[in-house]
Structure 1
Amino acid sequence: MLLLPHSLLLFVFLFFLSPPSSHSLSQDGLILQQAKLTLSDPSNTLSGWTTSSTTPTPCSWTGVSCDPATDRVVSLNLSNANLFGPFPTILCRLPHLSYLSLSNNSINSTLPPLLATCRNLTHLILSENLLVGTLPTFLHTLPVLSYLDLSGNNFSGHIPPEFALFPNLHVLSLTSNLLTGTVPGFLGDVATLTQLNLSYNPFDQGEIPPQIGKLVNLEVLWMAGCNLIGEIPGDLFGLKKIIDFDLSMNSLTGRIPAEITNLEDVVQIELFQNGFSGELPLGWSKLKKLRRFDASLNQLEGLIPDELCRLPLESLNLFNNRFVGGLPESIASSPNLNELRLFDNQLKGVIPKDLGKNSPLKWVELSFNEFSGEIPAGLCEKGALEELILLNNSFSGGIPVGLGQCRSLTRLRLSDNRLSGDVPAGIWGLPFVYFLDLVGNSFTGRVSESISGATNLSGLLISKNRFEGRIPDEIGLVGKLVEFSASDNLLEGPIPGTLVKLIQLGRLDLHNNKLSGEFPIGIEAWKKLNELNLATNELSGEISPQLGSLPALNYLDLSGNQFTGKIPLELQNLKLNKFNLSDNRLSGDLPPLYDKEIYRDSFLNNPGLCGDLPDLCPRKDRSKNSGSVWLLRSIFVLAGVVFIVGVVWFYWKYLKYKKAKEGTEKLKWTLTSFHKLGFSEYEILDCLDEDNVIGTGGSGKVYKAVLSNGDAVAVKKLWVGGLKKDECNDIEKGGSSDGGFEAEVETLGKIRHKNIVKLWCCCTTRDSKLLVYEYMPNGSLGDLLHSSKGGLLDWPMRHKIAIDAAEGLSYLHHDCVPPIVHRDVKSNNILLDGEFGARVADFGVAKVVDVVGKGPKSMSVIAGSCGYIAPEYAYTLRVNEKSDIYSFGVVILELVTGKRPIDPEYGEKDLVKWVCTTLDQKGPDHVIDPKLDSCYKEDICRVLNIGLLCTSPLPINRPSMRKVVKLLQEVIAENNSKSGKKDGKLSPYYHDDVSDHGSVA
């Protein structure tokens, strides 16, 4: 008993001497630290969440706010913190937490039921994450929840009926998820709602539920992109407190109801991209607070109401309709107007002369109408104008001098009007303009030296005018210039040497002028130049060999000049889609790469230019050859006699040989195996019967051979004497039968990959060659996809086939040393086993890529099949992996559309062009194979984007095959993360501008 006080004193002494422990932190701090352990924090946002002897509470930590009286955590805002992991339910142990925001992170999985224990939450903001599953049915049990934001996730399924039971909810935001079903009417029972945001979900097609009209406190109704149809129910116009009324991007029809003018507190009305028709209603004068009205992309007609233009609008968007008549004068009196977009209508007359004098105009776009008269002088009176776009009208007169002093301008597009006169000098040097388009007018004068002040200019388009004089040297100071088009003018003098300073230049088009002189020195700096057109000028001297060092150049037209000398051999380094050197004074031999018939039209009318192409060089005088005509005829007659005698002799020898061959043929076969075999060549030969033919291709017939052990193999018997032409009459697979046989044996004999068809062995005699493969019971993808059995291939099966084939090609491109280019990738060369697993087959024209440093190898003829050949390959005959990637992109498009690569339906287009055109004009629903289940639409669109990227016109924009595999697998991975659902959230890749084609929106 006497020792106890001493022990207690010792414990207290050691406690105060010891360093502070985590136990000195408040309970709320400990909970936050445990929450931190459940999350991945690669950006170290939560690195300051540590114990400190001076701050025992977490109130100073990042994102944490406390009640100053109690130091208890009441708010946690970790938006944009780059956090990963499941929802940290331990946060619900914070007894006073009322505000929680984890917006714009990577919170994944489903929301756990334990979230219902956060009883004091008033604000729950989980937008822009990776949450999946159905919407939780327990959220309505949070008694004081007033703000719920789950937008930008991957929630799927219907909105549950329990969402009608929220007792105190003011804001409900479910935008940009994967919700289905129709918009439910029971949401009208949440009487406390002031905001209802349901936009951008793939709801089933349905009408606007009239019960929404019961939400008398509603201020924001945002239902854009909800697949709504029918007319707007009149019940909605009883929402007297509505401020933002947005029903855009649906399929609503009928007239815009006159009752819309009863929404007297409305500030913004968004009705664009629907199917509204008829005239706009009257009564707009009642909407004193209306600032933005957008009814563009409809079928509205008639006049633009004067009373609408008299409102103090800030934005008026009525483009892509059928409005007629003129623009009301009253629009010029609007004191707040900053946006006026009326393009693509049938408006005419003159623009109100005072437009811009009373309002801070920023964006004016009146293109594709029938406006006439002069451009108003005061458009930039308030000094705010940024974009003035007046394309395709009938404006006349000159450009107002005031626009040359409008330093706020960023885009000025006046093409295809009737404008004339000199361009004000100030226009050329506007410091913030990045796009200046004056094409198709009658402008005169010179390009001003003040162009040097246009430091942000990236596009200068002045073609089809009457500009004259020299191109000023100062243009070399416009360092951001990407496109310079000045064709069809009267420009003269040399090409400025300063142009070579424009290292961002991608397109230079100066054709049809009076330019003279030689190529400027230093053009090798144009590393990004894609198009160079100097045709129809008076340029002279030799063609610069430096052109051959421009890696991105694929359009070169130097025709119609006075160039002399030889064609530089360096031009063979280019990958050209357009190539024209005609109508010059060139001489000498053609470079070997271009000494082919397909380039014939590129060299016409060069008197001294020679090559092996017939009639390219001038014919010799017939009189000089008349003496040899008789001799030539005699030689031909003698040759004919010898030929006939030779044929008769050959046929006699053949009959003798055939007779001697009978009975001994099997003994002369040579078998070369690449795997351990359970059969002999004689079993194979016995099956080469016409009844066993299962296919005929460009290189031979394919037989099914059933062996004595019951197994089956496929036998390809190559054509004797060469390869046949494939379905494109003008495209040959190239090489001889020997070459195709050797390529296939050399390639497949050493390849071991699950997605490359297995070559068991080859059998050869002096005049026959057989290749024995593993048998694919389901034939080729092309035959199955484009036959009546195409419906057997559902989307998961097609997606798996795409991945299998991509992995096979990726192996060829990245894992073989040296890499192998298939050169004939198509759906008919992708075979399917009994489980519909895919194998890449037919390597008869495969080529090994040259070692690094020697560049892609040129072929003597085009290899491939119609509709699959990359555009640059048809011109350059250069072999590289990008050609295979283009062809594989076509296969992806076949899988998505169910259509053939070429079809009379496309007219002069192929599948790639048809898909791009149809996407632009009608959208993805008109591209996707109707046999596919619509529940896979999101995934199909993602794979369609990959196909469009692979078929980019520029090879440099196509991904590697390894990247293609990864992209295709990412879609599968996202499906797995969504517990078997068929849709997923787009990865950042899909939000990029993937290709020149654009992407599926």
Structure 2
Amino acid sequence: MNSALEEIDVSHNNLEGPLPQNLCYRKKLQDLIIFRNKISGTIPDSYGECSSLTYVRIQENELSGVVPDGLWGISGLEHIEFTNNKLEGSITPSISSAKGLQQLLISGNNFSGKLPAEICDLQALGKFDSSRNQFSGDLPSCINQLKKLQELHMQGNKFTGEIPKSIAGWRELTQLDLSDNEFSSNIPVELGSLPVLTFLNLSNNLLSGEIPLELNKLKLNEFNVSNNRLQGEVPACFDKEFFLSSLMGNADLCSFVLKPLPPCSRSKHTNYVLVAVLSTLAFILVISLTWLLIITKNFITCGSKSKRSWKIIAYKRVGFKEEDVLASLRDENLIGSGASGQVYRVGLKSGQTVAAKRFWETKGLAESEEAFKSEVETLGRIRHVNIVSLLFSCIGEKYKVLVYDYMENGSLGDVLDEEKGGVFLDWPKRFAIAVGAAQGLAYLHHDCAPPIVHRDFKPNNILLDEEFRPKVADFGLAKVLKHDENESDQVMSRVAGSFGYIAPEYAYTMKVTEKSDVYSFGIVLLELMTRKKPNDSSFGESKNIVKWVREIALSSAGGGSEDAIGSTNMASLDQLLDSRMDTSTIDYHEVGKVLNVALLCTAELPITRPTMRRVVELLKDH
């Protein structure tokens, strides 16, 4: 084999036997991908000397024994995945050398012992999954220093002690699962200050005290504190039938409305007041529902004559009923309209705002109701900070409705469109959007099994929340890629994408792969930089944004090869950048990175384009 080989990928090949001993003579080996085989035996000690490794993925084999100490601590590592083997031993302190590690996924093994305090040195760590092992002891007190954490999964171990209270710095954390351990003491009130936390599972521990009222601040899609030693009154935000299973197994929890939880005690005076208030509210509610039924009956049935003829699929725990949303699909709430349907802004009585997309009637099309439901259910399982959250779907005879979290700042397309008076984006926001959108797309390609290709990636399908955090959205054309031995990509039955963003090879192959999305992402990067449409008239006849940018970049590099584009001077970069941006806020090193990545992504041949995983690495590279 070639000693200059940078990647070994032999996944899904039913390989058996031990791992080869002599991989490290390939001094440039960066990616080691040998997952979902039948590899057995131990990991050779020599793997700890593979100093060039950045990506290790050898999960779902039959490996046993101890991970070599040197392998934990390779300085350039960005991704370690040992999931679902039979490995044992502990994480060694040498892991502190892997300061650029972004994902540490070791679930489903027999690792044991305490987590070393050196794990707190992994300041770039975004996802840590140590679930279903034999880890024990207290969590390191310094774990609050991991400011980049987005997902923390530690369920199914033997951890003890308190859940750390000094966790307010986990500003990017979306998922926290500490279930099935032996954590004790109270639930930290500081959890309520985590701004993007949507998944919280603390079930099957030894937690005591009350459920903190501060958790009411969270926008939780998943909440579970069952089978602990909690006591006191269930907070109003969780005192709903929907959360009952998540509260059971706490003998001293009480509720005013949920059975079989014991009732909370009230004074006689409080009872009289409550009865009076509830009677008044009940009267108002009856009148309101009667009026609502009269004016919105077509929506309540989701476009059908009988409620039994439509189907609701909920993907997350929500504090409202579908009727509350469907009744608001009226013209005064309309915020957008496209080829597939109309989008409405829906304000709920709880104060929450959601976005509801009602698809146009699709009679006569080949897609059946079951095919639509199957695809939407797949997307409903996606959980990522850079992908919009799907709450539930409604499928009826006339309408198909999807309900999402509402994004305060609309789409990136609207923001970049000067005619629509969008919010101005400075360079730091644009760069953060580029990185976040790349992470969302990389999740679809590399972390979903099987992979999902978006097929219509463009600024209008990148939504921005109140902090301008990007969320990939609109999966109307998305396809799950089902690779098999004879076919690595698929012929699509309809046009894949929007004009200007479609990869050039689609015109003659009618096939779509992950590399089709990579091309579209490159176009989005160029739009972020220039604020010009893919086929802007200012480029001249028969010229698109890729040719225009490439010509300027090559010209500034002295007309040399594309390898010289990295030397593009500042004056040429200013020629490409949106003129509205204040140059004092622009990091030209970041601009150069974005330009190089955009041109790599929009290469003519798919095989020469990077993967989205590699794109994320290039954008984050310092």
In the superposition, the TM-score normalised over structure 2's length comes to 0.54
3-state SS of the aligned residue for 2:94?
helix
SS at match of 2:16: strand
Alignment of 1:403-418 (within 5 A): 403-418=47-62
Q: Which residue of structure 2 lines up, in the alignment, with residue 530 of structure 1? A: 174
Shift of 1:736: 12
Q: CA deviation at 1:579?
A: 1.8
> Could you report, residue by residue, the CA deviation over 1:34-72 in whole angstroms, capped at 9, with x for unpaired residues?
xxxxxxxxxxxxxxxxxxxxxxxxxxxxxxxxxxxxxxx
Deviation sequence 1:852-882 (CA, Å, 0-9, x none) = xxxxxxxxxx9995654445x5xxxxx7647
Q: What corresponds to 1:694 in structure 2?
A: none
Structure 2 residue 295 is matched with structure 1 residue 718:
yes
Distance 1:400 1:591 in 2: 53
Correspondences of 1:381-396 after superposition (within 5 Å): 381=25, 383-396=27-40
- 1:421 alignment partner, SS class: strand
Aligned to 2:323: 733
Please give the alpha-carbon distance, in whole angstroms, between the structure 1 residues aligned to 2:62 and 2:481. 33
Q: Deviations over 1:198-235 (max 9, x none)?
A: xxxxxxxxxxxxxxxxxxxxxxxxxxxxxxxxxxxxxx
Corresponding residue number in structure 2 for 1:494? 138
Code of the residue aligned with 2:77 in structure 1: it is V
Asked whether 1:974 is paired with 2:547, we answer: no
2:492 maps to which residue? 926
Q: Residue 917 in 1 paired to residue 479 in 2?
A: yes
Matches within 5 A, 1:779-928: 823-827=355-359, 868-871=401-404, 873=405, 881=408, 915-918=477-480, 926=492, 928=494
Post-superposition offset of 1:337: 3.1
Residue 475 of structure 1 and its aligned partner are, at CA, apart by 0.9
Displacement of 1:927 in angstroms is 6.3
In the alignment, is residue 372 of structure 1 matched against residue 16 of structure 2? yes
Instruction: Please tell me whether the aligned partners of residues 563 and 586 of structure 1 are also in contact (alpha carbons under 8 angstroms).
Output: yes
User: How far off its partner does 1:972 sit?
Assistant: 6.9
1:436 match:
80
State the match for 2:230 in structure 1.
586
Distance 1:883 1:512, change over 3 A: farther
Offset, 1:422 = 1.6
Alignment of 1:922-961 (within 5 A): 926=492, 928=494, 937-938=499-500
538 and 408 in structure 1: CA distance in 2 versus 1, 3 angstrom threshold? same
Change (3 A) 1:481 1:383: same
RMSD: 5.0
Mapping of 1:562-577 within 5 angstroms? 562-577=206-221
Alignment of 1:194-343 (within 5 A): 331=1, 336-339=2-5
Aligned to 1:608: 252
Could you give the per-residue CA deviations for residues 521-546 of structure 1, whole angstroms, max 9, x where no partner exists? 31111111121111101111111111
d(CA) in 2 for partners of 1:929, 1:980? 24
Q: Following the alignment from structure 2 to structure 1, what is the Cα–Cα distance between the partners of residues 167 and 204?
A: 21
What CA distance in whole angstroms lies between the structure 1 residues aligned with 2:411 and 2:302? Answer: 18
Contact 1:918–1:926 (CA under 8 A) maintained in structure 2: no
Question: After superposition, what is the alpha-carbon deviation per residue over 1:721-763, rounded to whole angstroms, capped at 9, x for unaligned?
Answer: x9844355665433999xx7xx989x69xxxxxx989xxxxxx
Shift of 1:501: 0.9
Aligned partners of 1:504, 1:424: CA distance in 2, in Å? Answer: 27
Q: CA contact under 8 A between 1:939 and 1:971: conserved in structure 2?
A: no
Residue identity opposite 1:917 in structure 2:
K
Structure having greater relative contact order (Cα 8 Å, sep ≥ 6): 2
Q: Distance in 1 between matches of 2:81 and 2:393?
A: 41
Contact 1:699–1:724, Cα closer than 8 Å, also in 2: no
CA contact (8 A) 1:824 1:865 kept: no
The alignment-based identity, stated in percent, is: 28
Change (3 A) 1:915 1:586: farther
Q: Counterpart of 2:128 in 1: which secondary structure? A: strand
What code does the residue aligned with 2:228 have?
N
The answer to whether the 8 A contact 1:497-1:521 is kept is: no
Tell me the equivalent position of 2:68: 424
Matches within 5 A, 1:27-42: none
What SS does the aligned partner of 2:478 have? helix
1:521 aligns with 2:165: yes
Q: How far, CA to CA, are the matches of 2:43 and 2:296 in structure 1?
A: 70
1:454 aligns with: 98
Contact 1:610 1:616 in 2 (8 A): no
Query: Partner letter of residue 323 of structure 2?
Result: K
Distance 1:940 1:726, change over 3 A: farther
Give the partner amino acid of 2:492. H
Q: What are the ranges of 5 or more consecutive residues in structure 2 without an aligned counterpart?
A: 265-290, 304-309, 313-320, 362-390, 414-452, 458-472, 505-523, 550-593, 602-609, 617-622
1:672-821 paired onto structure 2 within 5 Å:
718=295, 724-727=300-303, 728=310, 731-734=321-324
- Secondary structure of 2:191 counterpart: helix
Task: Give the match for residue 213 of structure 1.
Answer: none
Please state whether the residue corresponding to 1:516 is helix, strand or coil: strand
CA contact (8 A) 1:516 1:538 kept: yes
List per-residue Cα deviations over 1:881-906 (Å, max 9, x = no partner).
479999xxxxxx99989xxxxxxxxx
Q: CA deviation at 1:418?
A: 1.6
CA distance, structure 2, for counterparts of residue 926 and residue 613 of structure 1: 51
CA contact (8 A) 1:824 1:863 kept: no
Task: Give the one of 533, 543, 564 matched to 2:187.
Answer: 543
Q: Once the two structures are superposed, what CA deviation does each residue of 1:905-931 show, in whole Å capped at 9, x if it has no partner?
A: xxxxxx96674334787979626469x
1:976 Cα deviation from its structure 2 partner: 4.4
Note if contact 1:870-1:883 (Cα within 8 Å) is conserved in structure 2. Answer: no
Q: Cα gap change, 1:405/1:821 in structure 2, threshold over 3 Å: closer, same or farther?
A: closer
Distance in structure 2 (CA, Å) of the matches to 1:396 and 1:864: 44
Structure 1 pair 719/467, CA: closer, same or farther in 2 (3 Å)?
closer
Long gaps (5+) in structure 1:
1-330, 340-361, 621-697, 701-716, 749-754, 758-780, 782-797, 814-818, 830-861, 874-878, 887-892, 898-910, 943-962
Matching residue's letter, 2:4: N
Letter in 1 for 2:478: C
Change in CA separation of 1:371 and 1:591 when aligned onto 2, cut-off 3 Å: same
* Equivalent AA in structure 1 for residue 16 of structure 2: S
Aligned AA for 1:974?
Answer: N
CA contact (8 A) 2:535 2:543 kept: no
Distance 2:204 2:357 in 1: 39
Residue 160 of structure 2 aligns to a residue in which SS?
Answer: strand
- Matched to 2:82, the amino acid is L
Is the contact between residue 919 and residue 926 of structure 1 (CA under 8 Å) also seen in structure 2?
no
Tell me how many residue pairs correspond in the alignment. Answer: 403
Distance 2:79 2:410 in 1: 34
User: 1:602: Cα distance to partner?
Assistant: 2.0
**Aligned letter for 2:199?**
Y
Please show how residues 662-681 of structure 1 align to structure 2 within 5 Å.
none
Q: Is the 8 A contact 1:915 1:927 kept in 2?
A: no
Deviation of 1:490 (Å):
0.7
Assess, with a 3 A threshold, how the Cα gap between structure 1 residues 927 and 511 changes in structure 2: closer, same or farther: farther
Letter in 1 for 2:152: L
Question: Who is 2:367 aligned against?
Answer: none
Distance change in 2, residues 1:570/1:869 (3 Å): farther
Distance in 2 (alpha carbons) for counterparts of 1:382 and 1:940? 37
Residue 681 of structure 1 is matched in structure 2 by none
Deviations, residues 804-853 of structure 1 (Å, cap 9, x unaligned): x78x98xx99xxxxx99685453569xxxxxxxxxxxxxxxxxxxxxxxx
